[in-house]
Amino acid sequence: MVAYPFQRESRRARWAWRLASFALALLVVAGASHRFELIETMPFLVVLGLVALLAILALCVAFAALARLWQVDEIGIGRAFAAAFLALATLSPFAIGTVLWLTHPMISDVSTDLADPPALRQAERARSGMMNPVAPIPPEAAELQRIHYPAVTGRRYERERTIVEQAVRRLIEREGWRATRLPDPRMEGSGVTIEAEARTLVFGFVSDVAIRLRERAGRTQVDLRSASRYGDHDMGDNARRITDFLERLDEEIEAFPVMPAG
């Protein structure tokens, strides 16, 4: 080990800490900004790429600092370890995303009715630029859904459409979704479609959701469609959203009192 008359601070450890701290701060600020709609999705994705590069660089510099600190008498081993920890923490969302990418099918538009998906009319008008166009679900994507998400199926309730619609509206509000198309309360008929925007919990990526209610002989059929605005891989988000919503709707309908006939 090389000896010095006084201990110097490791420059590598210092730079690793700076890079890791900046990468984590950038991730938090950018993620919150996108979650609360202060920046658009495409610039946010560019920032995410920069965050990943900075975190990887910080991790490499931290390892280089630790390797040098084993050989020379410098201060900074604690800072180097802390920098490596911050870099790994920053990279954890990317690692989780990679696992989800590899373990879920490459689809971004999921529906309980693949033959006749609920219409996303408001979303079709609103989407532009690099957003995914609203289009029929391709046969190959439908087949992938059938294989990987067999639980994504519609519901049929022994209730009138108006009762089910009330439950759906309550759930949309409770889930924090933003309704973009609601049927006129005075509207009569056997079928209506409600559209809403749903965001992922952490980074706030948007999917457009259509909830179709059709009544026949006192029974109401409920079908959902959830389609990501960006990318061809939703990492299972849309299927989870549909199954979770329908499970909560089951509970909501079961808790609603049944009115006696007559």
Task: Evaluate if residue 2 carries a pLDDT over 60.
Answer: no
Task: Evaluate if residue 1 carries a pLDDT over 50.
Answer: no
Of the ranges 70-79, 109-118, 182-191, the best mean pLDDT one: 109-118
Domain encompassing residue 147 = 109-255
Span 83-93, pLDDT tens digits: 999 999 999 99
Kindly state whether residues 172 and 219 are assigned to the same domain: yes
Task: Give the pLDDT score at 183.
Answer: 83
pTM: 0.89
Domain closes at, from 84, 103, 122: 103
Q: What confidence tier does 262 reach under pLDDT thresholds 50, 70, 90?
A: very low
Kindly state whether residues 219 and 126 are assigned to the same domain: yes
Kindly state whether residues 74 and 124 are assigned to the same domain: no
How many domains does one find in the chain?
2
CATH code: domain of residue 203 = 3.30.530.50
Kindly state whether residues 190 and 140 are assigned to the same domain: yes
Mean pLDDT of the region 166-181 = 96
Task: Give the pLDDT score at 3.
Answer: 46
Cβ–Cβ < 8 Å for 101, 215:
no
Task: Give the pLDDT score at 188.
Answer: 55
Task: Evaluate if residue 185 carries a pLDDT over 80.
Answer: no
Kindly state whether residues 95 and 180 are assigned to the same domain: no
Task: Evaluate if residue 105 carries a pLDDT over 60.
Answer: yes
